[in-house]
Amino acid sequence: MKFNKHPYLLLCLFSFFQSCSVSEKKSDEAAIYVTSLDEKSLIEKREIHSETIDTSLIDEVITLSDSITYQTMDGFGYTLTGGSALHIHKMSDTARANLLNELFDTTQLGVSYLRLSIGGSDLDASPFSYDDLPSGETDETLEHFSLAQDTLHLVPILKEILNINPDIKILGSPWSPPVWMKDNGDTRGGSLLPEYYDAYAAYFVKYIKAMKANGIKIDAITIQNEPLHPGNNPSLLMKAPQQAAFIKNHLGPVFKKENIETKIIIYDHNADRPDYPITILNDPEAAQYIDGSAFHLYGGTISALEEVHKAHPDKNLYFTEQWVGAPGDFAKELSWHTENLIIGAPRNWCKTVLEWNLAADQNQDPHTDRGGCDRCLGAITINGDAVTREPAYYIIGQASKFVKPGSVRIASTMPNEIPNVAYKTPDGGIVVIIQNTSKTSKKIQVQINDSNLLVALASGDIGTLVF
């Protein structure tokens, strides 16, 4: 499948960057898939020829070592918000089927991981939970718990996705508990009242079981989306000691009692506060129930995740959200997100890389009032049955199409201005994502064992080498 938004720009100026081998060893099965900042190439396949070349022409060398391994990848993908599901569900049957196959078929873009909001997010038309009550009422036994809102659009779309890729992994993240559990009685901000910790733990269990009853397995949950950002709508302030107490005394024990295998992931916020997950993981009573920590990058640097890994190398790391602001600067977004997330997050131990959000309409609707995001550009823009592929589509696609779940990151050297990350795939192949951040074209030699391949990338190009 050719992923080119502008098919009429055929072969323009590409011949100079044709790739070739630098060894006598045949590399007929090698290819590189290139996306350029000018959008003339969009995950475009270029063959690697099996001819020799003068090694004096090489500008940089990347050396791989598949004997040195790191984390196993769970996948690359997006948040399927309520608004995303609404827009996709409203498409005609044929258009929707074509789009979902394009996104989730493992032979096409191959999106392999999705994040959902548990209850409403700020990209729903209005905030909601699964146990909303009239003001002043409570429901500690959760008799009124219902997935009804999700069954309108989200659950039907998830079922269609699972028919295409039944192995896709799904993460659930809450933006707010029911307001009757909060000290301010509002969807926005406030804190979870300690007297409702048990009820909120049971709320997670009910959610996981209700989704399972609909044929949807929740692989993991985070405790709270952006727990240090109470200004969103919906949102909740939950400091590290509160999250630790909730897990060790309530959520962890009830998961164990109910034989819930869903992973518990903490934090789910910016890289500028690695102390938050470290504080929780330093508590062994809480840590026993925790699989790992999740991060966004609206603050801090991606290298801060290494600090969390070093403090607790037995716990996993996940990258779970980054937005693209409308209208979307393709070159700027592709470059920054690739270097920091597609390459940077896995090099700092992340098992997932997820963009926010999968779909919106041409007006970036829906979103909540009083703090909902009105500039969040979807990976795709949907207008009726018409689909526009936006920067995040290609940012994720550059990895998801090739780095399949179960791929293991392997060691690779990092030449100056050539960020890269390498994997060994479950079928024994090698995938290397390479970015040329320099101001000039580069010929880059990739070495592994007795194989030597030469790829040429123009300034700013991103290439995924597969062999």
Model confidence at 409: pLDDT above 90: yes
Q: Are residues 151 and 174 in the same domain?
A: yes
**121-145 average pLDDT score:** 97
Question: Which of 405, 428, 456 is the last residue in one of the domains?
Answer: 405
272: exposed, middle or buried (Cβ count in 10 Å: 0-12, 13-18, 19+): middle
For 25-70, the pLDDT digits (tens) are 444 579 999 999 999 999 999 988 655 657 788 999 999 999 999 9
Q: Are residues 175 and 245 in the same domain?
A: yes
Q: Are residues 88 and 44 in the same domain?
A: no
Report the number of secondary-structure helices (H) and strands (E) in the chain.
12, 21
Model confidence at 227: pLDDT above 50: yes
Q: From residue 327, how far is each of 80, 296, 360, 380, 381 by CA, in Å?
A: 20, 21, 12, 12, 11
Q: How many domains is the chain built from? A: 2
Q: Are residues 80 and 51 in the same domain?
A: no
Q: Are residues 61 and 187 in the same domain?
A: no
- Residue 138's domain spans which residues? 74-405
Q: Examine residue 87 and state whether it is found in any structural domain, yes or no.
A: yes
**What percentage of the chain has pLDDT greater than the value 90?**
90
DSSP assignment, residue 351? E
How big is the CA angle at 358 (ends 375 and 410), to the nearest 5 degrees? Answer: 115
Q: Which has more confidence, 450 or 77? A: 77
Q: Examine residue 388 and state whether it is found in any structural domain, yes or no.
A: yes
- Among candidates 11, 28, 23, which has minimal Cα distance to 454? 23
CATH of the domain at 228: 3.20.20.80
Q: Examine residue 3 and state whether it is found in any structural domain, yes or no.
A: no
Q: Are residues 79 and 212 in the same domain?
A: yes
Q: Are residues 273 and 400 in the same domain?
A: yes
Q: Examine residue 7 and state whether it is found in any structural domain, yes or no.
A: no
Question: Which of 377, 405, 433 is the last residue in one of the domains?
Answer: 405
Q: What is the pLDDT of residue 17?
A: 37
Q: Are residues 27 and 155 in the same domain?
A: no
Q: Examine residue 9 and state whether it is found in any structural domain, yes or no.
A: no
**347-373 average pLDDT score:** 96
Q: What is the pLDDT of residue 5?
A: 44
Mean pLDDT of all residues in the chain?
93
The rounded distance, in Å, linking the Cα atoms of 311 and 308 is: 5
**What percentage of the chain has pLDDT greater than the value 70?**
93
SS3 398: helix
- pLDDT-derived band at 14 (thresholds 50, 70, 90) equals very low
Contact 224, 236 (CB under 8 A): yes
Question: Which of 357, 375, 405 is the last residue in one of the domains?
Answer: 405
- Among candidates 71, 32, 66, 78, which has minimal Cα distance to 406? 71
Q: What is the pLDDT of residue 178?
A: 98
The rounded distance, in Å, linking the Cα atoms of 137 and 145 is: 14
Model confidence at 307: pLDDT above 90: yes
DSSP 226-285: STT-TTSSS-----HHHHHHHIIIIIHHHHHHTT--PEEEEEEEETT-THHHHHHHT-HH
Q: Are residues 30 and 83 in the same domain?
A: no
**399-423 average pLDDT score:** 98
Which regions of 73-147 does DSSP assign to beta strands (E)?
75-79, 113-118
Catalytic residues: 226, 321
Q: Are residues 159 and 256 in the same domain?
A: yes
The rounded distance, in Å, linking the Cα atoms of 185 and 135 is: 8
Model confidence at 140: pLDDT above 60: yes
Q: What is the pLDDT of residue 53?
A: 58
Q: From residue 351, how far is each of 219, 227, 337 by CA, in Å?
A: 13, 21, 16
Q: Examine residue 263 and state whether it is found in any structural domain, yes or no.
A: yes
Give the predicted TM-score (pTM) of the model: 0.93
Q: Are residues 148 and 227 in the same domain?
A: yes
Q: How many CB atoms lie within 10 A of CB 133?
A: 13
Q: Are residues 353 and 380 in the same domain?
A: yes
Model confidence at 4: pLDDT above 80: no
The rounded distance, in Å, linking the Cα atoms of 169 and 165 is: 10
Q: What is the pLDDT of residue 450?
A: 82
SS3 322: coil
Q: What is the pLDDT of residue 57?
A: 84
Q: Examine residue 255 and state whether it is found in any structural domain, yes or no.
A: yes
Q: What is the pLDDT of residue 350?
A: 98
Q: Examine residue 140 and state whether it is found in any structural domain, yes or no.
A: yes
Q: What is the pLDDT of residue 3?
A: 44
Q: What is the pLDDT of residue 338?
A: 98
